[in-house]
């Protein structure tokens, strides 16, 4: 199986989310992996929505090496594409198409590595997810279904330009709601203005740093993304709503961040959770993390210094569910390509990623830690 051909095949499936529709690509992967001796289990999360758990060579007294990647993609946007977005055109040393970088190229690279490698002690687990782009729905369904084997390390093949990245920030997105009492705009004294109530809360969180800092990840942050309130010019608004995007570093706990927020804005502003995904971080000194980082530095000339990526991944769901298993984010795509018109992935980066993953499989001893 050739990594370029497999990337092109995966791009050919239209898995734009919404609606997602991962059923066809998962059926293709299931057949491919069953042909290679994997046990496969589809996990559904809606009509034509699914994820795939594939395992091979599991053992009771060793832990498996796991790879994960999502098969859904974001929409195409309104701008025209240079190459048809599902044709998988290879040109200028790159494979072009929606999902090439984020992250069908990464999935193709680990599948090729797994298919060409002898199964290591403890075995291989593949967590092929749908619904990632709209909040890790597939990963959540896999965790909810349960029955995952013992996993000793997790590779997330999201775009890092083949740099081994030991973590990413978490996200706590909240909807803030202020309520008031409506009245005629000429008699504001008869009402309670919800927009003014929200305005006071927003001034109180201007520049709000919701948690501790981290030596590599930096600061926890907060951003007011949207605001909506009021019906017309001549009414006192009785409702105002804000979407707040907070990003957390490893060591920041979301319950404390929420408490710190309430302390600033007061308890009269209602809070509703939109997204709650924790940060992911593994000590770069961990021997397995150090080894795969060295492989990436050697095989792809990437910087071995610990870093983090700004986006979050399915690891926010899998890593805590797997007892905070050691986790690396490493994939051939470039993060800047993700979600863009004319998305593409470098052929050389695809081949390097396959080689890095093959080296990680060859290293794997399955020793329980």
| Catalytic sites, residue numbers | 72, 132
In whole angstroms, give the CA distance from residue 41 to residue 51.
8
For Zn ion, which stretch binds (CB under 5 A), given 99-107, 180-188, 223-231, 248-256? 99-107
* Residue 138 Cβ vs Zn ion, minimum distance, rounded to whole Å: 12
Q: How far is the CB of 50 from Zn ion (least distance, A)?
A: 17
- For Zn ion (CB under 5 A), the number of binding residues is 3
Q: Are strands 50-56 and 39-44 parallel, antiparallel or unpaired?
A: antiparallel
Beta carbons of 43 and 50 less than 8 angstroms apart? yes
Interface residues for Zn ion in 216-255 (CB under 5 A)?
none
d(CA 144, CA 47): 17
Shortest distance (Å) from residue 367 CB to Zn ion: 30
Using the 8-state DSSP alphabet, how is residue 30 labeled?
H
Using the minimum distance from each CB to Zn ion, give the nearer residue, 66 or 260: 66
What DSSP assignment string belongs to 187-225? -GGGSB-HHHHHHHHHHHTTT---S--BTTTB--EEEEE
Q: Minimum CB separation from Zn ion for residue 132, in Å?
A: 6
Nearest residue (CB) to Zn ion, 63 versus 160: 160
Range in contact with Zn ion (rule: CB under 5 A) among 101-109, 168-176, 188-196, 256-264? 101-109
- Stretch of 77-85, 94-102, 140-148, 290-298 lying at the interface with Zn ion (CB under 5 A): 94-102
Phi/psi of residue 242, nearest 5 degrees:
-130, 140
3 near Zn ion, rule: CB under 5 A: no
The answer to whether 127 contacts Zn ion (rule: CB under 5 A) is no
Task: Give the pairing of strands 344-346 and 94-96.
Answer: antiparallel
Q: At what angle do helices 287-300 and 347-363 cross, to 10 degrees?
A: 150
Stretch in the footprint of Zn ion (CB under 5 A) among 49-57, 95-103, 147-155, 214-222: 95-103
Cβ(158)–Cβ(168) under 8 Å? no
Among 25, 26, 103, 355, binds Zn ion (CB under 5 A): 103
359 contributes a contact to Zn ion by CB under 5 A = no
Q: How many helices (H) and strands (E) does the chain have?
A: 9, 15
User: How far is the CA of 262 from the CAs of 173, 208, 259, 271, in angstroms?
Assistant: 14, 12, 5, 9
Q: Which is nearer to Zn ion, 236 or 350 (by Cβ)?
A: 350
Nearest 5°: CA angle at 242, between 241 and 244? Answer: 150
309, 330 Cβ separation under 8 angstroms: no
Residue whose CB is less far from Zn ion, 103 or 240: 103
| Identified binder of Zn ion from the candidate list 22, 102, 334, 343, rule CB under 5 A | 102
CB of 10 vs Zn ion, minimal distance in Å: 13
| Contact set for Zn ion, span 128-187 (CB under 5 A) | 158
Q: List interacting residues with Zn ion (CB under 5 A).
A: 102-103, 158
């Amino acid at each position: 199986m050739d990594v370029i051909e497999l990337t092109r095949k995966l791009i050919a499936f239209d898995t734009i989310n919404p609606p997602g529709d991962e059923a066809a690509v998962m059926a293709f992967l299931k057949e491919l992996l069953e042909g290679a001796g994997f046990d496969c289990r589809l996990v559904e999360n809606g009509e034509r929505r699914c994820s795939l758990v594939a395992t091979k060579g599991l053992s009771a007294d060793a832990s498996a090496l796991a790879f994960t990647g999502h098969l859904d993609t974001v929409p195409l946007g309104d701008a025209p594409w240079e190459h048809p977005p599902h044709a998988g055109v290879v040109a200028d040393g790159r494979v072009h198409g929606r999902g090439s970088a984020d992250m069908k190229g990464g999935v193709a690279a680990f599948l090729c590595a797994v298919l060409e490698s002898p199964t290591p002690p403890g075995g291989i687990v593949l967590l092929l997810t749908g619904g990632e782009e709209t909040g890790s729905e597939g990963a959540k369904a896999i965790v909810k279904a349960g029955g995952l084997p013992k996993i000793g390390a997790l590779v997330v093949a999201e775009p890092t330009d083949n740099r081994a990245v030991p973590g990413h920030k978490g996200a706590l997105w909240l909807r803030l709601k202020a309520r008031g009492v409506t009245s005629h705009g000429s008699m504001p004294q008869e009402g309670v203005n919800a927009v003014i109530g929200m305005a006071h809360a927003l001034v109180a969180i201007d520049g709000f740093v919701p948690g501790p800092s981290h030596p590599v990840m930096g600061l926890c942050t907060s951003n007011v993304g949207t605001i909506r309130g009021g019906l017309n010019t001549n009414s006192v608004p009785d409702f105002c709503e804000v979407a707040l995007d907070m990003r957390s570093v490893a060591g920041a706990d979301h319950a404390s961040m929420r408490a710190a927020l309430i302390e600033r804005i007061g308890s009269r502003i209602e809070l509703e959770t939109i997204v709650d995904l924790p940060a992911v971080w593994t000590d770069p000194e961990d021997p397995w993390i150090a080894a795969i980082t060295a492989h990436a530095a050697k095989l792809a000339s990437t910087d071995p210094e610990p870093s983090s990526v700004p986006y979050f991944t399915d690891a926010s769901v899998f890593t805590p569910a797997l007892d905070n298993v050691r986790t690396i984010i490493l994939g051939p795509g470039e993060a800047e390509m993700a979600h863009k018109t004319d998305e593409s992935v470098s052929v050389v980066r695809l081949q390097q990623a396959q080689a890095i993953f093959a080296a990680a499989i060859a290293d794997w001893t399955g020793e329980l830690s």
